[in-house]
Amino acid sequence: MAYTVGVLAMEHVAAGLVEHDRVVGAIQTFPADARDGASVLTALPEADITEAIARLVEQVAGSHPIEAVGVGFPGVIREGMVDESPNLQQVKGSPLARRLSDVLGGRSPVFVLNDADAVAAGIAATRGEIGTLTRVWTLGSGIGFGRHPHGPGVWEGGHIVVSLDPKESLCGCGGVGHLEGIIGHRAMRLRFLDREPEEVFEQAAQGDAVCAAFVRLWHRALAAATATSVHFEGPGRFFLAGPNAGLVDRAQLASALHDMVTMSPLQGSAFEVVTKSDELAIIGAAVEAHRTIVG
C-alpha cells in the first residue's frame, strides 16, 4: 500500500502521512510550536512558504513510497495556481503545485486545493460520506467556505456580502460589507483596536453592551452567509472549524438562521462544531489528491 501526504497551510503549516482516510504517525507543523504561530505565514516570502511545505512533506513521508501530495491552501486555487489569496498576498499568482513538485525533485505529483475545501473533504471522508454534500465554515484570520464534493467555480464564501453599511470595510480583500470583515480574526482585532476576540466575547457574556452588540452582529453575519448558501443549494448540515470555531454559540446562530430562512422546504439546517481542523484538512487534502491523481 502506498501512502499519500496531506498538508494544510492556513495560519501555520501542518502535514501528515495518510493511508486510506486516516493519519498514520505524528502530524508535523511549521513552526514546530504551531500554537504560537498564528498567522506566521503572512510575514514569510513566497519561496519560504513553498520551502516550508516541501520540508514538512519530506519529513512526514520519510522513506515511504508516496503516490500523491495534497495541499490545502487559502484563496482561489485553479489548476495548481494560486489565483488570489487575500491573506497571503505574496503567494498570489504562484504556480504552487509546480513549484512544490520542483522542490520535491519530482518525487510525487502535487495537487493543490482550497484549504476550506480540504476540511470539507476531510469531514466527508472520516464520516464515510464521500460524495455527500458537505459544507464548512473555517473561522480564522481569513474566513473560508469549504464544499465537498468540489465543483467548478470560485466559492469564495468568506467574501459573501452580509452588510450594506459602507463603514463595514475591514475585510482582508478590501471589499465592503464582507463576512470576513465582521467575523474574521484579523478584522475583529482591527475593530477592537487589538483586543483579543476571546476577550470581547467574554465581556459580552458579562454584559458589556458594545461587546454584546458585536457578538450579535457576528452571529447574524455568519447566519446571513449560511442563509445565502441555503437559498442557493438547499438546507443541510453546516460544519464550523478552525481556530475560532470555539467562539460560536450554536443556539444563537441557529436562531438567527431561522429568522433568515423562512420557506418551509429550505428549513432544517443544523450547525456542528468540529475540532482537529488540522487533521481533517490533512486527510481531506490527501484524499482529494489521491482521487484526482491516482483515481
Residues at the interface with Zn ion (CB under 5 A): 159, 171, 173, 175, 178
Q: Which is nearer to Zn ion, 135 or 178 (CB)?
A: 178
Is the separation of the CB atoms in 177 and 162 below 8 Å?
yes
Q: Which is nearer to Zn ion, 173 or 293 (CB)?
A: 173
Q: Which is nearer to Zn ion, 29 or 226 (CB)?
A: 226
Least CB distance to Zn ion at residue 181 (A): 6
Radius of gyration of the chain (CA): 19
Q: Which is nearer to Zn ion, 104 or 162 (CB)?
A: 162
Least CB distance to Zn ion at residue 179 (A): 8
Q: Which is nearer to Zn ion, 91 or 171 (CB)?
A: 171
Least CB distance to Zn ion at residue 163 (A): 12
Least CB distance to Zn ion at residue 274 (A): 24
Least CB distance to Zn ion at residue 187 (A): 9
Least CB distance to Zn ion at residue 170 (A): 9
Least CB distance to Zn ion at residue 46 (A): 21
DSSP secondary structure of the chain: --EEEEEEESSSEEEEEEETTEEEEEEEEESSSGGG-TTGGGGS-HHHHHHHHHHHHHHHHTTS-EEEEEEEESSEEETTEEEE-TT-GGGTT--HHHHHHHHTTTSS-EEEEEHHHHHHHHHHHHTT-TTS-EEEEEESSSEEEEEES--SS---GGG-B----TT----TT--TTBSHHHHSHHHHHHHTTT--HHHHHHHHHTT-HHHHHHHHHHHHHHHHHHHHHHHHH---EEEEESTTGGG--HHHHHHHHHHH--SGGG---EEEE---HHHHHHHHHHHHHIIIII-
Is the separation of the CB atoms in 13 and 59 below 8 Å?
no
Q: Which is nearer to Zn ion, 120 or 162 (CB)?
A: 162
Q: Which is nearer to Zn ion, 49 or 160 (CB)?
A: 160
